[in-house]
Amino acid sequence: MMLSRDARWVAAAVQAVIAWEWLVSGANKVLAGNFPQGLADTLNEGIQDNPNGWYVSLLQQIVLPHSVAFGYVIEAAELFIGIALFIGVVVLIGPVRRRGTPQYRLAVGEVAAAMVAALLCAFLCVNFHFFMGDGIFPWFNPANAFDEGITLDTLMPPVAIVLFFVNARLLVEMTEMPVGQYVQRGIRRVQALADHSQGKPQATASVTDGASPTI
């Protein structure tokens, strides 16, 4: 089933809003000039009285010892999310590129980048959610009656996952490859990596399944 034009325009509008939020956030960090150097102080202040003990331990053991490096990674990741999602908006609202049409490979790469950006968006927002002291699921809390019921960082991950699947569906349409074939290719690549790590020779794909013998 193909994505309708209306569905792509709605997804593009949502994706544009999210892209702008991440682009502004990443640009502010870069323009400030001291975000990586100040990340440790921000984290140490933020984890005070944080009820998510497991997450606090994760930050203290992994992130804080390398806070400057993580700061640069966060800056780059936020800028990438904003730029990739913005470019993906252009592909969403434009005609579906098919094999043999001009700029086909560029469009495929842009959609793939938007998919990666959507996953990064969800991952970072989940981290921000726990950093703010929220639980796994939002719940009623009358003590915080003057705060928003569900924060943006809590709402963003499921929206980002929806955008991931919308772009994935568009990618399937553009490449005209059945979803099952994508799954089979992914399984073969995972198996090849496992065999390589164990020193086993790589097995060639069967000619009968219609797949390329190379992995």
161 and 193 in a single domain? The answer is no
**Final residue in a domain of this structure, among 146, 161, 176:** 176
What single letter denotes the amino acid at residue 214? T
29 and 89 in a single domain? The answer is yes
Give the pLDDT confidence score for residue 78 in this predicted structure.
96
208 and 131 in a single domain? The answer is no
Give the pLDDT confidence score for residue 178 in this predicted structure.
59
136 and 206 in a single domain? The answer is no
115 and 203 in a single domain? The answer is no
Q: What single-letter DSSP state applies at residue 212?
A: -
14 and 82 in a single domain? The answer is yes
Whether residue 119 contacts residue 158, with contact meaning beta carbons closer than 8 Å, is answered with no
133 and 155 in a single domain? The answer is yes
133 and 206 in a single domain? The answer is no
The total number of structural domains in the chain stands at 2
Q: Which domain holds residue 35?
A: 5-176
Give the pLDDT confidence score for residue 174 in this predicted structure.
87
116 and 27 in a single domain? The answer is yes
Q: What is the pLDDT along the chain (215 residues), one digit of tens a residue?
A: 567 888 889 999 999 999 999 999 999 999 999 999 999 999 998 888 888 889 999 999 999 999 999 999 999 999 999 999 999 999 999 888 888 788 888 999 999 999 999 999 999 999 888 888 776 666 555 555 555 566 777 788 899 999 999 999 999 888 876 555 555 666 677 777 777 766 766 554 444 444 444 43
195 and 136 in a single domain? The answer is no
Q: Model's pTM, two decimal places?
A: 0.75
List the one residue out of 134, 139, 143, 90 whose CA is nearest residue 114: 90
Q: State the residue for tokens 């992994």.
A: 62
Whether residue 77 contacts residue 116, with contact meaning beta carbons closer than 8 Å, is answered with no
31 and 129 in a single domain? The answer is yes
Number of Cβ within a 10 Å radius of residue 191: 14
138 and 198 in a single domain? The answer is no
